[in-house]
Amino acid sequence: MKKLSVDYTAVAVNTGGRKGHVKTDDGLLDFDVAMPKEIGGEGGKTNPEQLFAAGYAACFGGALGSVAGKISLRDSEITAKVHLGSFAPEDYGLGVDIFVKIPHAKSLEEAQKLADEAHAICPYSKATAGNIEVNVTAIL
């Protein structure tokens, strides 16, 4: 395994698990979390899957900016859908679908090529590689 040269460290603390509270050390994030209604929770608050989706989408957008070259990313959108499911009772896992919209790409094929290149360098994609299913699809 390669040694990571650390440029930045994010720190977040949770109390109470999925029905608790999260806060970053700088105080920029400071809120309650709840289980989604779809899995038996009360809903009405953010949850770990939403936070992961937001982080992945933003990170992927940064990676896309690194590979876009002269292609304008104005009005581009990255949508990350993080799925929580189970393989068997009490064996939960995640899956991710990423949809990449690049209105200024010349074609859907060019947009897919850029999306694939971004996926290859995105730190979230690298972290999940071989661990969870991640599908990356360019859309119009």
Work out the pLDDT band at 90, boundaries 50, 70, 90: confident
In terms of phi and psi (left: phi > 0; alpha: psi -120 to 50; beta: otherwise), the region of 94 is beta
Q: Which pLDDT belongs to residue 53?
A: 98
Residues 126 and 101 in one domain: yes
For 122, the domain range is 47-139
Residues 51 and 117 in one domain: yes
Q: What is the count of structural domains for the chain? A: 2
Residues 29 and 70 in one domain: no
Q: Do 122 and 134 contact (CB within 8 A), yes or no?
A: no
Q: Which residues pair with 84 in a beta bridge?
A: 94
87 in helix, strand or coil?
A: strand
Q: What is the CATH number of the domain that holds 66?
A: 3.30.300.20
- Residue 103, number of CB atoms within 10 A of its CB: 12
Q: What is the CATH number of the domain that holds 40?
A: 2.20.25.10
Quick: pLDDT tens for 53-70.
999 999 999 999 999 999
Residues 112 and 126 in one domain: yes
Q: Do 114 and 67 contact (CB within 8 A), yes or no?
A: yes
- The predicted model gives 14-27 an average pLDDT of 98
Quick: pLDDT tens for 107-140.
999 999 999 999 999 999 999 999 999 999 999 8
16 in helix, strand or coil?
A: coil
